[in-house]
Amino acid sequence: MAPQLRRQGKILLHLRGLAGFGAALAFTFLGLLAITFFIGRIVPIDPVLAVVGDRAPQSVYEQAKVEMGLDRPLPVQFISYVGKVLSGDLGRSVSTNNSVVTDLARVFPATLEMATLGIMIGVLLGIPFGVLAASRQGSLIDQAIRVVGLLGYSVPAFWLGLTGLALFYAHYGFVSGPGRIDIYLDGTVPTVTGLLLVDSLIAGDMEVFTNALSHIVLPATVLGFFSLAYIGRMTRSFMLDQLNQEFITTARVKGVPERTVLWRHAFKPIRVPLITVIGLSYAGLLEGSVMIETIFSWPGIGNYLTVALLNADMNAVLGSTLVIGAVFVGINKLSDFSYRILDPRAR
């Protein structure tokens, strides 16, 4: 009877944790909705003028304002806004005359693909660099890795992107130029996932895959460099803390090989906090790719948001902001949830 009660208690505990996670996610999303809504109301851009134009008669202006629901009190507008968002209606873009949801479904996979490759570069290089720097603290290798991390924090994204284009595309020709794919190959493979590299592999078209890879490698590497700097710095900090622990000294005294000490004894405890670091870095790449997409003419959500801002397209601006914020919140909460699963102490 006692084991069954314990099992039921564990199930209830897990259900309670899932309920708390869901409630926190819902309240956070509601706060995000409130922020995006009130930003859209206080910015010095009139969404009615963006629709009717600045030469429209006052009667047309007033009629459009009523049709858009902007004549109602703010609380009523907010409730209506929340209802529309929950039903999947983000309005219609003035720039493209399409539903904002349709536009975002078209542009977001491009950002997701580039950010995913960027975080892969950051993880695959940043973690080994951080471990190496911590194991050689104070050495030339450690200093060099710290300088790379410092550059990742201090070098402007636009400068690094333009320099990469000037060197590797214009001068040496190692990679393809701006854009996601050459024009003559655009639309030659059917869209399945929206991720061009994946869709070209599904279609078995290696020409499209090679061309798309040549276009994405430079912007993804630029994003990955910033991710590498952050992940490498945090890995080094976590490892230094572990390498000063008594159990590491004990393992070394017992003659355990240094590689085993680093990767099995010291690295294992830091895997959990690294998940949070990687998650935040990934979310940062997804939301912070506006400058890179503008420089590389990448047809992602950052470029879409920039064009919407220039055209005073508030539906597109708010929809893009909401999606980016939702992705950031979702990844952050997922990291916290993974933290609780992998580390029993957090539960």
Q: What is the CATH number of the domain that holds 232?
A: 1.10.3720.10
Enclosing domain of residue 21: 15-86
Residue type, 260: T
236 falls in which pLDDT band (50, 70, 90)?
Answer: very high
Q: Which residues pair with 99 in a beta bridge?
A: 92
Q: How far apart are the C-alpha atoms of 224 and 257, rounded to whole Å?
A: 32
Q: How many domains does the chain have?
A: 2
Among 87-101, 177-191, 222-236, the range scoring the smallest mean pLDDT is: 87-101
Domain boundary among 86, 115, 149: 86
**Which of the given ranges, 118-122, 176-180, 259-263, has the highest pLDDT on average?**
118-122
46 plus 185 within the same structural domain: no
Instruction: State residue 152's pLDDT score.
Output: 84
Domain boundary among 36, 59, 86: 86
3 falls in which pLDDT band (50, 70, 90)?
Answer: low
pLDDT score of 42 more than 70: yes
For the chain, how many residues are written? 347
Average pLDDT, the chain: 83
Instruction: State residue 213's pLDDT score.
Output: 94
Q: Does 252 reside within a domain? A: yes
72 plus 120 within the same structural domain: no
69 plus 160 within the same structural domain: no
Q: What is the pLDDT of residues 97-149, one digit of tens each?
A: 888 899 999 999 999 999 999 999 999 999 999 999 998 888 898 899 888 88
73 falls in which pLDDT band (50, 70, 90)?
Answer: confident
112 plus 39 within the same structural domain: no
92 falls in which pLDDT band (50, 70, 90)?
Answer: confident
Q: Does 98 reside within a domain? A: no
Q: What is the pLDDT of residues 10-41, one digit of tens each?
A: 667 667 766 766 777 777 778 878 887 777 77
Q: Does 150 reside within a domain? A: yes
Q: Does 141 reside within a domain? A: yes
154 plus 239 within the same structural domain: yes
Q: Does 10 reside within a domain? A: no
pLDDT score of 214 more than 70: yes
3-state secondary structure (DSSP) of residue 92: strand
Among 1-15, 104-118, 240-254, the range scoring the smallest mean pLDDT is: 1-15
Cβ-Cβ contacts under 8 Å for 24 (sequence gap 6 or more): 333
202 falls in which pLDDT band (50, 70, 90)?
Answer: very high
108 plus 79 within the same structural domain: no
Q: What is the pLDDT of residues 277-316, one digit of tens each?
A: 898 888 888 876 778 888 898 998 988 888 887 777 778 8
Domain boundary among 55, 86, 117: 86
Q: Does 207 reside within a domain? A: yes
116 plus 217 within the same structural domain: yes
57 plus 186 within the same structural domain: no
33 plus 131 within the same structural domain: no
Element (H, E) at 115: helix 100-135
76 plus 184 within the same structural domain: no
> Would the pTM count as exceeding 0.85?
no
Q: Does 288 reside within a domain? A: yes
Instruction: State residue 342's pLDDT score.
Output: 66
110 plus 80 within the same structural domain: no
| Section 56-85 average pLDDT | 79
297 plus 206 within the same structural domain: yes
pLDDT score of 178 more than 80: yes
Q: How far apart are the C-alpha atoms of 109 and 115, rounded to whole Å?
A: 10
DSSP, res 166: I
| Section 74-85 average pLDDT | 82
State the CB neighbour count (10 A cutoff) for residue 63.
14
Q: Does 5 reside within a domain? A: no
